């Protein structure tokens, strides 16, 4: 079969780049990027090929196994349906394809809410079994004790404030947060509390651009915005939004950087047509042949294989 592991001398993530591979991105490196006002880039990945895609650019700082995995790769209606074992299965594949980017994964809905002990147990599983280097948690002041404990036991935590997709039902949908004074104050309070609890960075999702910048200026740790305007320390997008392969809703903050869906669908159609009209496979270029004498011997030897 043609599906063989990439050759050790031809790592598919780096062959097209003339530059040497980038060193592993550390939390310290992210803080240095923030200090030098170099925007941090984070992209989601859900399996081995998408992890290779993220690692193919030296500029990718963080690969996130987002729980958007639920909708994008598993066809669920909501992130709340994703289980811990499904997440770990996918983290393992992403870890196998990740080179220099720091590897972070979302703790799935319901895996860090019952007790601090349960949160630690589940995060340890994600690190030990999955190979993730840090976890991301959605929430505000109510998860401060979990963030504190995880940080203390040595599991780096990326916080996530603003729009919390895991709470889309209690938020009555995927709505922009922080548009009123009260709501903006709440997002800021959450961000400050999570920083004090030990979070090393923070995703800020779907807030007005003014608030995205204000929170970034108020914190010592990097903010990674998604729908939070250009004033955050970095940006994150879902890979399928970047590639144009996601056919669901397109949020206002999404920019498509490629149209792979059209290319992909054309590829499938072209293959199907070539099979149907008999032009694939080509008998010379795409087929094996047998030595003529061996073939004659085979035919003359009878047709029952003995
Ligand atoms: O699940 C996800 O993909 C995310 C980001 C896009 C921030 O949480």
How far does residue 301's CA lie from ligand 1's centre (Å)? 64
| Helix axis angle, 48-55 to 84-97, nearest 10° | 50
Model pLDDT, residue 8? 42
How much is the pTM?
0.92
pLDDT at 10 over 50: no
Q: What is the pLDDT of residues 184-233, one digit of tens each?
A: 999 999 999 999 999 999 999 999 999 999 999 999 999 999 999 999 99
d(Cα 212, Cα 30) in Å, to the nearest integer? 18
Q: Delimit the domains of the chain by residue range.
A: 27-258, 262-300
Can the peptide bond before residue 11 be classed as cis, meaning omega within 30 degrees of 0?
no
How far does residue 237's CA lie from ligand 1's centre (Å)? 7
The verdict on the CB of residue 47 being under 6 Å from ligand 1 is no
pLDDT at 14 over 60: no
d(Cα 138, Cα 84) in Å, to the nearest integer? 15
pLDDT band for position 274 (50/70/90)?
Answer: very high
Model pLDDT, residue 19? 80
d(Cα 166, Cα 78) in Å, to the nearest integer? 8
Q: What is the pLDDT of residues 108-150, one digit of tens each?
A: 999 999 999 999 999 999 999 999 999 999 999 999 999 999 9
How far does residue 44's CA lie from ligand 1's centre (Å)? 7
pLDDT at 67 over 90: yes
Q: What percent of the chain has pLDDT over 70?
A: 93
Going by C-alpha positions, the residue among 265, 142, 127, 126 that lies closest to residue 193 is 142
What is the three-class DSSP state of 78?
coil
The verdict on the CB of residue 162 being under 6 Å from ligand 1 is no
Which CATH code fits 27-258?
3.20.20.60
d(Cα 264, Cα 29) in Å, to the nearest integer? 36
pLDDT band for position 248 (50/70/90)?
Answer: confident
């Amino acid at each position: 079969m043609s599906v063989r592991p990439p050759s050790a001398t031809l790592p598919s993530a780096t062959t097209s780049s003339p530059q040497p591979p980038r060193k592993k991105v550390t939390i310290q490196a992210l803080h240095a990027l923030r200090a030098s006002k170099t925007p941090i880039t984070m992209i989601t990945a859900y399996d081995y090929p998408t992890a290779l895609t993220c690692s193919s650019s030296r500029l990718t700082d963080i690969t996130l196994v987002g729980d958007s995995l639920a909708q994008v790769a598993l066809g669920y209606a909501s992130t709340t349906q994703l289980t811990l074992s499904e997440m770990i299965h996918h983290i393992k594949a992403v870890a196998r394809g990740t080179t220099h980017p720091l590897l972070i994964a979302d703790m799935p809905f319901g895996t860090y809410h019952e007790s601090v002990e349960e949160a630690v147990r589940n995060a340890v599983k994600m690190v030990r079994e999955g190979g993730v280097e840090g976890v991301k948690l959605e929430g505000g002041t109510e998860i401060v004790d979990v963030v504190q404990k995880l940080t203390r036991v040595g599991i780096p935590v990326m916080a996530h404030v603003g729009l919390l997709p895991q709470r889309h039902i209690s938020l009555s949908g995927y709505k922009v947060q922080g548009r009123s004074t009260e709501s903006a104050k709440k997002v800021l309070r959450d961000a400050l509390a999570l920083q004090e609890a030990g979070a090393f960075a923070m995703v800020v999702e779907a807030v007005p651009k003014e608030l995205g910048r204000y929170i970034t200026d108020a914190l010592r740790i990097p903010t990674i915005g998604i729908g939070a305007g250009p004033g955050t320390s970095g940006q994150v997008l879902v890979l399928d939004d970047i590639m144009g392969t996601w056919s669901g809703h397109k949020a206002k903050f999404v920019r498509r950087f490629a149209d792979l869906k059209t290319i992909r669908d054309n590829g499938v159609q072209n293959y199907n047509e070539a099979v149907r009209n008999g032009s694939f496979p080509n008998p010379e270029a795409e087929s094996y042949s047998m030595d003529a004498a061996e073939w004659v011997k085979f035919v003359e030897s009878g047709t029952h294989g003995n």
